[in-house]
């Protein structure tokens, strides 16, 4: 799942280094909304602004963990 998410997001946001240790530092509000929208649509999970926390967006691994947790909640 990690590589799939990385590929999806890298296609939409090519200027962001998704392998960076601190992904959150590279993100602006538009890129955060783009990430949440892409992941919500791809995995049919509800994501909104309450999910846009540094904890969830600190790294690619954190994004994967957030998606997996949302999928389990369904």
pLDDT tens, 16-61?
999 998 999 999 999 999 999 999 999 999 999 899 999 999 999 9
Cα 34 to chain centroid distance, Å, stands at 9
**Residue tagged 């892409």 (tokens):** 38
pLDDT for residue 74 is more than 90? no
What is the set of domains in the chain, with CATH numbers?
A: 2-73 (1.10.1200.10)
**Of the candidates 28, 13, 9, the residue with the CA atom closest to the CA atom of residue 66:** 9
């Amino acid at each position: 799942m990690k590589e799939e998410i990385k590929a999806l997001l890298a296609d939409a946001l090519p200027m962001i280094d998704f392998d960076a240790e601190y992904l959150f530092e590279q993100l602006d509000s538009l890129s955060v909304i783009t990430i949440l929208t892409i992941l919500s649509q791809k995995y049919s999970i509800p994501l909104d602004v309450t999910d846009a926390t540094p904890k969830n967006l600190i790294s690619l691994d954190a994004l994967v963990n957030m998606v997996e947790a949302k999928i389990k909640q369904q």
